[in-house]
Amino acid sequence: MYGKGLRPLSIATVAAIVASLSLVFFYAPLDADQGFIQKIFYLHVPLAIVALVGFVIGGVFAILHLRSGNSKWDAYSYVSIHMSVIFGVAVLLTGSIWAKASWGHWWVWDEPTLVSFLIVFLMYATYYPFRYAIEDRERQARYASVFAITAGAFVPLNFMAVRMAQSLVHPRTFGTANGGLPGEMMLTFLVSLVAIGLLWTTLVKFELTAKSASGQLKRLRRALDAPAPGGSSRVAPEVS
Amino acid sequence: MSTAIELRGLRRDYGERPALAGVDVSLEPGETLLVLGPNGAGKTTLLRVLATLLRPSGGEVRVFGATLPGEAWKVRGRIGLLGHDALLYRDLSGRENLRFHARLHGIERAAAEARIAALLSAVGMERRADDRVDELSAGMRQRLAICRCVLHEPDLLLLDEPDSHLDTPGRELARELIGPSEDRTRVVVTHDPERLLPEADQVLRLAVDGSAELTEAALR
Amino acid sequence: MTAGATRSATPVVPSRVAFAAILGKDLRAELRTLQSLPAMALFAVTTFVIFRFGLDRTQLSGDLASGVLWATLLFAAILGINRLFVAEREEGGFDAIRLAPIDRTALFAAKGAALLAYLVALELIVVPVFAVFFLDSAAALPPLALVLLLANLGLAATGTLISSMAVNSRARDLLTPLVLLPLAVPLSIAATGALEPLLAVGGPGYHRFGTWLAVLGLYDLIFLLVGYAVFDFLLED
């Protein structure tokens, strides 16, 4: 059931990525200051936006999990956060490359968004050791949901505080000296954003499908191996 | 008059395996249910479900007419649990622990003091009541735990091997407070069925695979 | 004593009663054993000495002063936060509270209040020592106290929340600092942001003081609400 829709989604994702790459390399104009390396912006910023949205989505699933007690929401929450953390690594790497190209250093503390993102990434990276240190399965899921909600509340506060701590604000990518992003760049950016968003969604769906399949397999194996108890039949319920 | 405990097909899973796989019990007020079985059969799990500490994975649980877990708040104050943990803070004295317990159950101060004094006297702990719990022996802690269990005058007693650590005089004193009585409904887990069988109205035998077998006691 | 069947549902005990009972129990136990507070204070003062040598300074002001003071207080706080639920965990205390006919959020409030009390007590000891070690005037201390109080509130909320989960895990002493430190970053930014001008060389300055206090207040509010909303789920099962 998870697998349904995976193929059209994958196709759409590939198409969007191809479109985005074409635009980035053949359509978007070269930036006057930063040159070719500026094009990494079309990868870095969409990755960051999608990762952050993914964290928020993970928090929303966590709320649904606590309210309903249905463990499928916990699976959704876990995979959303998982994928966003992976995308987060990519954000930091591409951000570092961009920093090196633009300002000559592999890391800059002057860019508040990058710094905020680092802190958010560090926060969510603790999700795994935290989660796996709790042995009881149901309790683990509940605590993980509380973590996801707490971390979700933390994200906007963090961005605000870091922004306020900067006395010097670097040129924002959307507000360049000429005021605003030129039309071609904006189009390329939006298409890239859609492509990365679709990529995230496809990978999440893919991981959920894989998890559900392996879970079903485990259950069937256990049901077959377990000796039949007197009277009752206890075949595992289907994952729906 | 409604039943004290009504269990129908109670299931509680422990991870993937069932700790309880379909328990049916109907217990009238004032009756005693004896729970027997080997280690790992789910006896403590059953008590904890009845105590509202664990949610059932399936089936129906009703205590004094309230459905668990949704209506647990209605009956929590009427249940007294005597488990393996004494639930006593070891840096506080016995009396302070009982006072804490009384406050948590909404017993106002003057009444609580009187009741605590009476209970301590009933279990023979008056002289050691102001010593820190970690200075007391296991038997004394068990006596304090018994006081804690009945302090708020519960209608349902859930007793997990209540005689553990108690010497014979201790057991005699305890009998007054937690022994059979028409004012109290009791569920007693024990490894010593011989001694307690005469008190039982029903006997529930649990097995390691989670199955259960209920019998009316022959003697009454 | 009448038989059970004739009584109707037991009323739930009011939260302020439960809150007072749990808070009283905690403070009484801490006063009797003095497990957390002296350790936290000693840790902080020793850390000051390490900073004195690590930074090679005998006087601190402005950003260095606020950084050293806040970082030390934060790490000392974590020692106390680690121990917050230990008694409940060891003595089956969670059961005692879950068996009582109370609203379990009272536990969050009571433990948070206890932690707040420990943090305030810590600062009453440690901040004067800091002033004596590194500052040349005590003029900044009153507004500093206000900043620390607001920061303590945020730390109490998040510390109680994280600690209540970590205590039920395998690596409990490790988990609390691991998760709490990133969570405390916005709090730290705001606290040191307010403290830095207060500890400036020429005397306390109030650059953006109100703004930083507002950020602290917002942090406190958000995490008190989050804690209040989710705590019940933490005590289930």
Q: How many Cβ atoms from other residues are within 10 Å of residue C125's Cβ? A: 15
Please give the Cα distance from B210 to A153 (Å, whole number).
42
Q: Residue B211 is nearest to which of A137, A219, A229, comparing CB atoms?
A: A229
Is residue A237 predicted with pLDDT exceeding 50? no
Picking from C181, C57, C33, C188, the residue whose alpha carbon sits closest to that of residue C130 is C57
Both tokens of C230, joined, read 């989710």
pLDDT category at C22 given cuts 50, 70, 90 is very high
Q: Is there a contact between A114 and A108 (Cβ–Cβ < 8 Å)?
A: yes
Is residue B137 helix, strand or coil? coil
Is residue C21 predicted with pLDDT exceeding 80? yes
Residues of C in contact with B185 (CB under 8 A): 4
Q: Could you give the dihedral angle defined by the CA atoms of residues A48, A118, C63 and C128, in that order, rounded to the nearest 10 degrees? A: 130
CA B128, B131, B136, B139 dihedral sign is positive
Best mutation target, C25, C85, C99, to test chain B (most B CBs within 10 A):
C99
Please give the Cα distance from A234 to B15 (Å, whole number).
14
CA B61 to the chain's CA centroid: 17
| Amino acid (1-letter code) at residue A235 | V
Best mutation target, A65, A145, A154, to test chain C (most C CBs within 10 A):
A154
Q: Tell me what the mean pLDDT of segment C125-153 comes to.
A: 93
Q: How many Cβ atoms from other residues are within 10 Å of residue B21's Cβ? A: 25
Picking from C171, C161, C185, B111, the residue whose alpha carbon sits closest to that of residue A130 is C171
Q: Is there a contact between B49 and B42 (Cβ–Cβ < 8 Å)?
A: no
Residues 114-173 in C contacting A (C-alpha not used; CB under 8 Å): 158, 161, 165-166, 168-172
Interchain proximity C3–B101, CB inside 8 Å: no
**pTM of the full predicted structure?**
0.88
Interchain proximity A232–B16, CB inside 8 Å: no
- Residues forming beta bridges with residue B36, ordered by sequence position: B205
Which pLDDT does position B220 carry in this prediction? Answer: 39
Q: Is there a contact between B33 and B50 (Cβ–Cβ < 8 Å)?
A: no
Please give the Cα distance from C79 to C83 (Å, whole number).
7
Q: Is there a contact between B40 and B210 (Cβ–Cβ < 8 Å)?
A: no
Both tokens of A146, joined, read 């509380």
Question: Of the given ranges (A169-178, B147-156, C3-12, C75-84), which has the lowest mean pLDDT?
Answer: A169-178
Instruction: Give the β-pairing of B58-63 and B202-206.
Output: unpaired
Q: How many Cβ atoms from other residues are within 10 Å of residue A21's Cβ? A: 16
Q: Tell me what the mean pLDDT of segment C93-111 comes to.
A: 91
Residues of A in contact with C208 (CB under 8 A): 164
Question: Does A67 lie at the interface with B, CB-CB under 8 angstroms?
Answer: no
Both tokens of A216, joined, read 């079903």
Residues of A in contact with C223 (CB under 8 A): 150, 153
Residues 208-237 in C contacting A (C-alpha not used; CB under 8 Å): 208, 211-212, 215, 218-219, 222-223, 226, 230, 233-234, 236-237
Q: How many Cβ atoms from other residues are within 10 Å of residue C150's Cβ? A: 22
Please give the Cα distance from C173 to C166 (Å, whole number).
8
Rg from Cα positions in chain B: 17
Instruction: Name the closest residue on chain C to residue B103, using Cα atoms.
Output: C21
Question: Does C31 lie at the interface with B, CB-CB under 8 angstroms?
Answer: no
Q: Is there a contact between C223 and A132 (Cβ–Cβ < 8 Å)?
A: no
Interface of A with C (CB under 8 A): 66, 119, 122-123, 126, 129-130, 133-135, 138-139, 142-143, 145-147, 149-151, 153-154, 157-158, 160-162, 164-165
Instruction: Name the closest residue on chain B to residue C98, using Cα atoms.
Output: B53
Q: Is there a contact between B47 and B83 (Cβ–Cβ < 8 Å)?
A: yes
Which pLDDT does position A234 carry in this prediction? Answer: 36
Please give the Cα distance from A104 to B27 (Å, whole number).
78
Q: Residue B101 is nearest to which of C3, C96, C237, comparing CB atoms?
A: C96
ipTM of the complex: 0.88
* Phi, psi for B205 (deg, rounded to 5): -105, 125
pLDDT category at A238 given cuts 50, 70, 90 is very low
B65-106 pLDDT, tens digit per residue, is 899 888 888 899 999 999 988 899 999 999 999 999 999 999
Q: Is there a contact between A53 and A91 (Cβ–Cβ < 8 Å)?
A: no
Is residue A14 helix, strand or coil? helix
Domain range annotation of chain C: 13-235
Which pLDDT does position C201 carry in this prediction? Answer: 86
Burial category of B45 from C-beta neighbours within 10 Å (exposed 0-12, middle 13-18, buried 19 and up): buried
C48-75 pLDDT, tens digit per residue, is 999 999 999 999 988 999 999 999 999 9
Q: Residue A137 is nearest to which of B15, B22, B211, comparing CB atoms?
A: B15
